[in-house]
Structure 1
Amino acid sequence: MSRQLISRNADLKALEEGGYEVAVKNGHLVISNVPYVNANREVKLGTLVSVLQMNGGETMTPSDHKAYFVGEHPCDPDGKTLESIRHSSRRQTLGKDITVDHMFSAKPKEGYRDYEHKMATYVEMIASSARKIDPTADARTYVVANSDEPDPVFNYQDTASTRAGIGGLSEKLAMNKVAIVGLGGTGSYVLDLLAKTPIR
C-alpha cells in the first residue's frame, strides 16, 4: 500500500526521485539518514517524521507545519542548538516502530505547498549545518526505503489517528481477531468503534 501511495502522489514521488529515503509508516511520512550536527560538533544521521494528511489515497496540502525528529537535537556548526526550529524535546511513540525525540516548528508565511516542500525545507535547515563540517553530508542517498506493510488492515492509510496524536494508543488495540456476537444496540456500537482500529 505505501509504495503505491508514493508512486501515486506527485509530492511523495518527487521526494523519492530527489534521492531521499522516503517511507510511509502508520500514517506518517518518514525520511531516514538525515545528516545533522550534535552538541559535540559531530555529524550524525537522524530521521525526520511528519504526520501525513490524506484524502483517500491522495495527499492533502499540509495543515500541520510541525515535524518530529529521531536523534539528538540538531545544532549549528558550533554545536549550539538550532533554536529557529526548536519546539519541544521529549521521547514519545507516534505509532508502531515510530518513537521520536524532538518536535520542530518552522512555518513559512505562505505555509507549505505540499509534502515535498515541507520535508525538503526541514531537511535543508538541519543538514546545512552538517555540510559545513562535512561537505559530503547529504540526505539524498538514492536508497529506496521499504515502507510496504505486509498485510494492511485498512484499505487506506489511517491518518485520523496520527492527526489526533493517538497512533501509539491505536496500535495497542492491534490483535489477531475479534468476534462480535449480535449486532443489536450494543453490538453495533462496539462494531462502529472497533472498525476504526487495527483489530481484524
Structure 2
Amino acid sequence: MDDRLSAFGRQCGFIVTVGSDLLDAENVPCLLKDGVVGSCTITQSYDPETGKSNKQIGNAPHAVRITTDQECDGRVYAADGNPIGAYLAGDEKTWSDISVRKGSPDRPEDDESARDSVYRYAKRIVGAVAAFDAAKTTSFSQPEEPFKIPNAFEARAGIGPVQDRIRDQRIAIIGLGGTGSYVLDLVAKTPVPKIHLLDSDHFGWHTFMRAPGAPTDDEIEGQREKAWGKVAYYRAKYDALRTGIDAHPDCVEDSAWLAEFLSQHPVDYAFVCIDQRSESDSPRQDVVYAALTEAGIPFIDSGISITVENDSVRGAVTTSAYDAGSLEWQNAIPNARIASNAPGYRNVQLPEMNALAAALAVMEWRRRTGQYVSESRSFLHKFRIERPHIVTPRAAAEE
C-alpha cells in the first residue's frame, strides 16, 4: 500500500511490515541515550497478553511499543536529550511503551488508523536524528559529518565504530576517468571530511557511458555548449549529498608540484587511477608514485589492462597498495605497463571493469585502515578475467 508511512519508510530506509494482526515499522533510525544513533522497531498498540491489536497499550491512548536494536534503556530520545513520549512501561533495556498525544492537551485528537499512528511516531523519531545532526546546542558529543542528509546508514548497517577509523582521513583521488569516478562514488558515501579531485581532462560524450549514475537534461545541454571539466562535473554531481569535495583541474607533474599542493591541501591517503599513454614507453604513473612517496603519503593504485582478442575481452584488474614512503612500487607489477605480464593497455573501456577496479581499491583501503578482518599481507591483488579469481604476486608468477 503506497500510503504516507510506506513512502516515508522508503525515504528513510526503514521497512513497514504487516503481520496477521500487527503493524511494525522496522529499522527506524533513532537517537538512543547519550546521543548514540541507532535503530528501533515501532509497533502499533496491542495487547501484550494476546498479541492482538487494540486502541491502547498501558491504559493510555495513542501509545506504541518501541523496541531498540541494541540494549540501552529501551527509550528513544529527542535532539535535546530528553526521552520522546510519556513513559508507560518497559524493561529498561530494549523496549518501552510510550505515548505521544495527538493534538493539544485541551483539544486531543484520535489517530485515523494504526498506520497513521505509527507514521506520526516515525516522523518524530526520525526527525530527532536529523535535528540532532544539525543542532549546535546539543549537550552530546558528536563528530561533525559531511553529509547533507541524515546519516541513517551507519546505524542501520551497524558499522559506526568501523567507520570511526576513517572519520578524520583526507583523501585525494588522482584521475577521474572511469575508475576514479567510481572510487569517488564509494568514498563520497563514507564520513571522510575531505576529498580532493585531481584531473586536468575534460568530459567527452563517451565519459557518460562509463561513469556512475546518469546525467541530467541540464548536464547534457551544458556539455553541448561547452565540455565539462571532469573534476568540476563530479564535484557538482555529489554536492547535494555532502560537503568537503574539492575540485582541482590539475595533474600531478612532479614532487615539487605535489609538495606545494599538499602545503595548502593536506592529504592522508591517495587513490591513483590514471592510465598509461599507449604511445609512451615511460609509464606516467611513475611520476605520481614518486611524488606521493617523497611526500610520505600512502596510496593505492588501481589499473585495468584489457584488450580484445577474437571479439572477446581478456585482461586483468590490478590493485596495489603502498605504505607511506614505500618504494616497493619500483619492483612491483605495474598496473598498465606494456612490459608487464598483463595484456597491454589498449583503451578498451567497460564500466563494469571500472566499477570492479574501484571497489577492489576501496576495499583495500578499508582493509589497510583496519576496517576489515584480514589475513592478507600482500601489497598486490589481481583479478584475471580469464580465470575469475583474485591472485597475489606469488600466484601471479605461477600463472
Normalised to the residue count of structure 2, the TM-score between the two structures is: 0.25
Give the structure with the larger helix fraction.
2
Normalised to the residue count of structure 1, the TM-score between the two structures is: 0.47
Structure with max Cα Rg: 2
